[in-house]
């Protein structure tokens, strides 16, 4: 184990929303039929991870939704990504890790589990005095979640958390990832933001079961995946040229395709909310993430937002802005 350079490090890592193409980052699709393509954006809702020296140099303490205290062996850590991150960086003891999230950390669809891991890896590297690139951060997180732990799912979350901004991400058949920023100036980003409404359904779901079903059925839905990939390219072009009303239509087309990929992505309740929002003036929208609950994103003229809010009084609005930076170290103390 390397001797740490700092006694206290804090990382700040953004959560994300996805516009179009979600699901084409599954290896079952892009490795055989790639590239996959997704347009995703980091938002100003964060997970903060602190790493500090432990008074007891032979112990570990991990605090998240529960606390694991007085751990003597890394292998005894219950939290799987914390355990594997420490093993990857050969950190055996003498450390405390805590996390704080601004949005519920499970089942909300904003990429929290991968965002946490990216932030954790960044903080651990920082604690060791190492500077790490967004590319390496994302690759290490993907390796832990998808290869070591064999968790189902794609890899857009790790990359947007590491890079930030509004990006077109292409997932190539050789497992490389190409990143292209959307060409928007500050005024355009603000105008796009004004058209978006993020609402929390109050229903948290476990994405694992949906991802497992989706992965098993990729070959049965190639036409839908191909269309969603093409919608991502269209979305990127529309964003870069400021054609806002195209975004709503593209979101609507993407959701119509995605909700048919596997059972559980949509529900009767979600369908009702979606149609209610459209009747109230939304051009299009989607459930963020794997589906089944969490957050819904709608695109509408700003003057229609109040009508949509009133039509869906049971859903909690979460105001947000785009975050142009990815995971970063915001504090170190020697």
Confirm whether 147 is domain-assigned: yes
What lies within 8 Å, CB to CB, of 237 at 6+ separation is none
Q: Please check whether residues 295 and 192 belong to one and the same domain.
A: yes
Q: Please check whether residues 256 and 227 belong to one and the same domain.
A: yes
Number of domains in the chain: 2
Cβ pair 323, 14 in contact under 8 A: yes
Determine the pLDDT at residue 206. 58
Q: Please check whether residues 180 and 193 belong to one and the same domain.
A: no
Q: Which domain holds residue 18?
A: 8-184+329-333
Which CATH number characterizes residue 251's domain? Answer: 3.30.70.890
Confirm whether 83 is domain-assigned: yes
Determine the pLDDT at residue 322. 97
Q: Please check whether residues 109 and 35 belong to one and the same domain.
A: yes
What lies within 8 Å, CB to CB, of 43 at 6+ separation is 14, 15, 16, 17, 110, 320, 321, 322, 323
Confirm whether 289 is domain-assigned: yes
Q: Please check whether residues 151 and 200 belong to one and the same domain.
A: no
Q: Which residues of the chain have pLDDT under 50?
A: none
* Alpha carbon distance 230, 178 (integer Å): 16
Determine the pLDDT at residue 146. 96
Determine the pLDDT at residue 47. 97
Q: Tokens in use for 90?
A: 């050969």
301's enclosing H/E stretch is none
Q: Please check whether residues 38 and 107 belong to one and the same domain.
A: yes
pLDDT for 104-145, tens place per residue?
Answer: 766 677 889 999 999 999 999 999 999 999 999 999 999 999
Cα dihedral sign for 135, 138, 143, 144? positive
Determine the pLDDT at residue 263. 72
Q: Please check whether residues 107 and 180 belong to one and the same domain.
A: yes
Q: Please check whether residues 172 and 196 belong to one and the same domain.
A: no
Nearest CA to 283 out of 196, 186, 188 is that of 196
Confirm whether 74 is domain-assigned: yes
Which CATH number characterizes residue 15's domain? Answer: 3.30.230.10
Nearest CA to 23 out of 247, 148, 203, 207 is that of 207
Q: Please check whether residues 179 and 199 belong to one and the same domain.
A: no
Confirm whether 2 is domain-assigned: no
- The helix/strand/coil state of 10 is strand
Q: Please check whether residues 22 and 82 belong to one and the same domain.
A: yes
* Alpha carbon distance 304, 312 (integer Å): 13
Confirm whether 160 is domain-assigned: yes
* Alpha carbon distance 300, 280 (integer Å): 9
Confirm whether 1 is domain-assigned: no
- For 11, other C-beta atoms within 10 Å of its C-beta total 27
């Amino acid at each position: 184990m390397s001797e740490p350079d700092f006694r206290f490090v804090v990382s700040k890592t953004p959560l994300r929303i996805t516009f179009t193409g979600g699901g084409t980052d599954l290896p079952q699709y892009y490795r055989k039929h790639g590239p996959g393509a997704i347009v995703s954006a980091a938002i100003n809702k964060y997970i903060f991870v602190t790493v500090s020296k432990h008074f007891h140099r032979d112990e570990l303490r991990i605090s998240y939704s529960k606390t694991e205290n007085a751990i003597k062996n890394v292998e005894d850590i219950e939290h799987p990504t914390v355990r594997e991150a420490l093993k990857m960086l050969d950190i055996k003891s003498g450390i405390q890790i805590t996390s704080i999230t601004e949005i519920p950390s499970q089942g909300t669809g904003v990429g929290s589990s991968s965002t946490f891991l990216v932030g954790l890896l960044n903080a651990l590297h920082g604690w060791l005095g190492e500077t790490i690139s967004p590319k390496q951060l994302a690759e290490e997180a993907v390796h832990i979640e998808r290869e070591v732990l064999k968790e189902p799912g794609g890899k857009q979350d790790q990359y947007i958390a590491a890079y930030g901004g509004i990006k077109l991400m292409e997932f190539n058949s050789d497992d490389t990832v190409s990143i292209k920023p959307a060409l928007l100036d500050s005024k355009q980003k603000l105008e796009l933001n004004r058209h978006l409404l993020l609402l929390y359904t109050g229903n948290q779901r476990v994405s694992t079961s949906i991802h497992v079903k989706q992965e098993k059925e990729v070959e049965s839905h190639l036409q839908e995946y191909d269309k969603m990939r093409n919608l991502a390219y269209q979305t990127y072009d529309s964003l870069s040229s400021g054609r806002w009303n195209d975004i709503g239509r593209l979101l609507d087309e993407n959701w119509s395709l995605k909700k048919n990929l596997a059972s559980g992505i949509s529900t009767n309740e979600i369908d009702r909310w979606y149609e209610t929002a459209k009747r109230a003036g939304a051009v299009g929208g989607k459930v963020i993430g794997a589906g089944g609950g969490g957050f819904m994103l709608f695109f509408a003229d700003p003057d229609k937002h109040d009508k949509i809010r009133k039509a869906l009084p049971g859903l909690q609005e979460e105001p947000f802005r785009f975050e142009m930076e990815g995971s970063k170290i915001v504090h170190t103390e020697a």
